[in-house]
Structure 1
């Protein structure tokens, strides 16, 4: 471990004033119990509210939660004690103390990964559901004890030596013992609302497993799939509306900058001097890059920043009249930015949008730029029509095509230009690109009408032999577009 003398040492006042400018490593001068520890990593930073640090002292590691508000500290302590009384597995507390200007809790560092991390490593949807089922005995035990985790999600379960351990204690609340069935169902719905909508077909399996562990006939009678599905849909919509606001403002994930002449949003984990220099002069970066498209409506170039490949797209103003028409409308760049994060929210694969810049004159919008991570793969048209080498087996790719259409249906989105060149085949899955015309639908009629157009555009894009292949492959999906309702 490096010598502590070379590291900055921060007091409680320093940490309060540092805000998002705080960087690790550093040492602490807060309390005697913490002075021997070094901060190696900042895990969570909410300015003026909470700071979560990974500490090290020799070979020993710990997690430190610093609270800038006494009420947040008390909620964490109270929630931890409720779980302890119910004999539910938690991280051990090494030390805790409430001072006038800062409160802290020093937790044992658990050698394990969250269920959310393991979820990403699974090879298929059933394997992911099998992982989720592991959390249900713990959830049922909480409900039998009258406890509810108000902000429940897979990151709050750590897998350690084949045992699940609960974290994030501030959201633990005490209710009736056992928890009333309606509240239990709502809490289960909140957990399921963290999953993409196409997992709705697994709800019966999940509910059966939950009831089996709950060992309560009242739960078996009260929890039903239609009500649960409706609750999940409502909660997912609220989650999306909340996330949609985050992608437009300054928060833990994004940096938002706005002036009279421009508006910029950038992912915080992609923020660097090189990225900011690019955003200062995006036209120069486009000219210095490798052109992928030079059209009247858009110019696209492949560039490299900080040893990472990106695609930058400039949405051109084609003339005075076009500029007038676009001046007060949402820019195509912003529509693509929003649509990209909607697909990610729904569990669909698309190149990660990392930055957006709009040139403005007050509220008048001018040229706009979108930067996304580049993906290495072949487009679907190349794979089927040109016989290009496919990164995955063709039978697997066929199933990915079906799954993509099904996911768009359950996610209530249509693409608007769904041709083979807008689907990039990679080893990780099908990436959907060119999201300028993507639409989010509120009613079944408009969704099905738009998806029928997407399906027709997709099939029409291929040669006759491939057209027959996809017509047969997607015949079941096509039939669903004629049904009276949409499941999930």
Structure 2
């Protein structure tokens, strides 16, 4: 679609629930912005996209609604503070405030890559440490100028021609006096806590890079590691968005029904399934039909296979009532899966949809839909070994690293059968998360995590190859 083929007024654009496909024109109070490609869209609130204005390619950040003027002021103030701190950021080209609408345009870094995308590629530890040093140096410059950035995710950094750019001035707070030692340490730890725990040892190698610019008394590996751990636990509150409509999810709720779907996975076939899930489950490949849950591989109308767990009590009225007033097991598994994927970097089949049938607050049946993955489970793989091998040792190390991260993250799985750990090519996954608990105190965690460890050890016959690999 060419940018001239369709245009939106402010009223029409505010009514959109999904970003338009292809190019389009925003025609608002005589101001025309040709959007070539949408990079981010929050319905009724914000749009970020590659745009063309007066024949020039720019990055346009458009703010919608009654809070548009406030957000523009905050964004401009933040970007200005980056410049004063000597931090590279795309140059501001123009800004304009209209009623219920405003925009800021900055230079478009054509060959740029987000730090998040680069970080997820196959990089050596040496390259990762180099990138992290650039990040902590940027944070140190912010602190040197009494600036706290409150939205420290990797997508707020761009790499262009080997130079690190900081974007998104909206998350910036300028203090009127020098930062306290604790405030600076907490903010540095906040930036580093967005990395997965397996990279924490690299973060600790960047202390000297920070100290050269903004010396902090008492900053060492132990204090930074503790601060990172605390901030990672604090960031759990952000995961509540997995239950509401936002950039990543579409949720709907009423007296009889609650549903949330990964926005990128929405399809007519998945919608049809969610309308009548039992029909698909019963005609699918049923792997388990228990008194409280059913597990099935379902083929959707478009031919895509998904894995479905249905939780429904048939143990009697009392059990059904007690089960119904608690958080549903599907809801718990949905949350934990996102916790592992987003905060700890532990792989599990991608959760696609959560569905609850309910009566008010009483849930009588719940469903979890995840991607279907062809995989081998750890029990069958390791118990069949007659001797060790490089592949077996690599898989064992991977599984032990996963267990270490779960333990450090105070995640009590609750069912450490080896069949709940899966291998598929280079993916090492944990499954069956409906009883998993994320603990909030180290004292409580010690008892429960010891149970997990003991249960995992019972998977292996004493003296077997597997027992030796996991000793």
TM-score (norm 2): 0.88
Task: Find out whether 1:141 has 2:141 as its counterpart.
Answer: yes
Rounded to whole Å, the distance in 2 between the matches of 1:332 and 1:415 is 13
Question: Displacement, 1:412?
Answer: 0.2
- 3-state SS of the aligned residue for 2:165? strand
Rounded to whole Å, the distance in 2 between the matches of 1:451 and 1:404 is 13
Report the CA distance shift for 1:383/1:131 in structure 2 as closer, same or farther (over 3 A): farther
Rounded to whole Å, the distance in 2 between the matches of 1:446 and 1:47 is 42
Rounded to whole Å, the distance in 2 between the matches of 1:383 and 1:118 is 33
Rounded to whole Å, the distance in 1 between the matches of 2:125 and 2:320 is 46
Rounded to whole Å, the distance in 1 between the matches of 2:394 and 2:130 is 21
Report the CA distance shift for 1:135/1:315 in structure 2 as closer, same or farther (over 3 A): same
Question: Displacement, 1:334?
Answer: 1.5
Report the CA distance shift for 1:312/1:9 in structure 2 as closer, same or farther (over 3 A): same
Task: Give 2:397's match in structure 1, choosing from 391, 396, 399.
Answer: 399
Q: Match of 2:257?
A: 262
Rounded to whole Å, the distance in 2 between the matches of 1:399 and 1:124 is 19
**Contact 1:151-1:171 at 8 Å conserved across structures:** yes
Question: Displacement, 1:96?
Answer: 2.2
- 3-state SS of the aligned residue for 1:89? coil
Question: Displacement, 1:277?
Answer: 0.9
Q: Match of 1:379?
A: 377
Bigger CA drift: 437-446 or 151-160? 437-446
5 Å matches for 1:217-296? 219-243=215-239, 245-296=240-291
Task: Find out whether 1:360 has 2:355 as its counterpart.
Answer: no
Q: Match of 2:322?
A: 325
Question: Displacement, 1:403?
Answer: 0.3
Report the CA distance shift for 1:29/1:173 in structure 2 as closer, same or farther (over 3 A): same
Stretches of structure 1 that go unaligned for 5 or more consecutive residues are: 476-488
**Contact 1:379-1:423 at 8 Å conserved across structures:** yes
Bigger CA drift: 304-313 or 366-375? 304-313
Q: Match of 1:209?
A: 209
Task: Find out whether 1:79 has 2:74 as its counterpart.
Answer: no
Report the CA distance shift for 1:251/1:181 in structure 2 as closer, same or farther (over 3 A): same
- 3-state SS of the aligned residue for 1:29? strand
Question: Displacement, 1:325?
Answer: 3.1
Q: Match of 1:486?
A: none
**Contact 1:181-1:222 at 8 Å conserved across structures:** no
Rounded to whole Å, the distance in 1 between the matches of 2:352 and 2:452 is 27
Q: Match of 1:341?
A: 338
Q: Match of 1:90?
A: 89
Report the CA distance shift for 1:429/1:190 in structure 2 as closer, same or farther (over 3 A): same
Q: Displaced runs of 4+ in structure 1, greater than 6 A?
A: 57-60
Stretches of structure 2 that go unaligned for 5 or more consecutive residues are: none
Q: Match of 1:457?
A: 455
Q: Match of 1:434?
A: 432
Q: Deviations over 1:138-186 (max 9, x none)?
A: 2223333443322222211111111111110122333468755443322
Question: Displacement, 1:474?
Answer: 4.3
Rounded to whole Å, the distance in 1 between the matches of 2:127 and 2:397 is 16
TM-score (norm 1): 0.85
